[in-house]
Amino acid sequence: MKLIGLTGGAGSGKSTVAEMFRELGAAIVDADAATHALYEPGSLGFDLIEGEFGPEYVRDGRVDRARLGELVFNDAGARQRLNAIVHPLVREWMAQRTAEALIHGATIVVQDVPLLFENGLEHLYSAVVLVYVPEPVQVQRLVEGRGLTEERARGMIAAQMPIDQKRQRAQHVIDNSGSRDETREQVQKLWPEIAR
């Protein structure tokens, strides 16, 4: 089995590229799906987050992700406390899903990990693919596509390693600033190289 890391910046289009790899035959293991799972009521992650940040960060029986997000994107200490809870649980969830993919016969697993470089995980992969768009495009997509304020979008981007720095560290770069067809063409061209 080959393990490929897929990363990018907020709003770069990792999910779009991951789906294109899925269409080509890769099993996809998504860190964002892991994070959603561990925020679910009754999960260990939920209990640890409520214990660390208090009941004011729970609304209607669920983690108030918007309120928690505002806190951690503006407070580096709070972000570190949250990451200390979330990152080990996400890694465990992803390891389990990767093992399941292997059991089911997957030969290529692409792990979609937004903070791959920030967490020093590149050594886990036979190759790292970066989904790249320039920072102004990131901001535009977060504002127009996700309905964030420009300030919140810039805060999200600032909390991550600069996209140009990630670009220098990745073995492969997919430029997702053009059309979907242009992106798909790059993915299809890259596939034989990472799949062999």
How would residue 76 be classed by pLDDT, with cut points 50, 70 and 90? Answer: confident
Q: In terms of Cα–Cα distance, which of 138, 141, 192 is closest to 167?
A: 138
Which residues partner with 63 through β-bridges? Answer: 58
How much is the average pLDDT of 58-79?
90
Residue 125 is predicted with a pLDDT of: 96
Q: What is the pTM of this model?
A: 0.87
How far is the CA of 39 from the CAs of 7, 8, 137, in angstroms? 22, 23, 29
How much is the average pLDDT of 116-133?
94
Task: Check pLDDT > 90 for residue 74.
Answer: no
How would residue 20 be classed by pLDDT, with cut points 50, 70 and 90? Answer: very high
Q: Which residue has the tokens 């073995």?
A: 171
How much is the average pLDDT of 149-159?
86
Q: In the chain, list all ranges with CATH 3.40.50.300.
A: 1-26+106-196
How far is the CA of 138 from the CAs of 63, 134, 142, 167, 179, in angstroms? 26, 7, 6, 14, 15
Under CATH, what is the fold of the domain 1-26+106-196? Rossmann fold (3.40.50)
The answer to whether residues 139 and 98 touch, using CB atoms and an 8 Å cutoff, is no
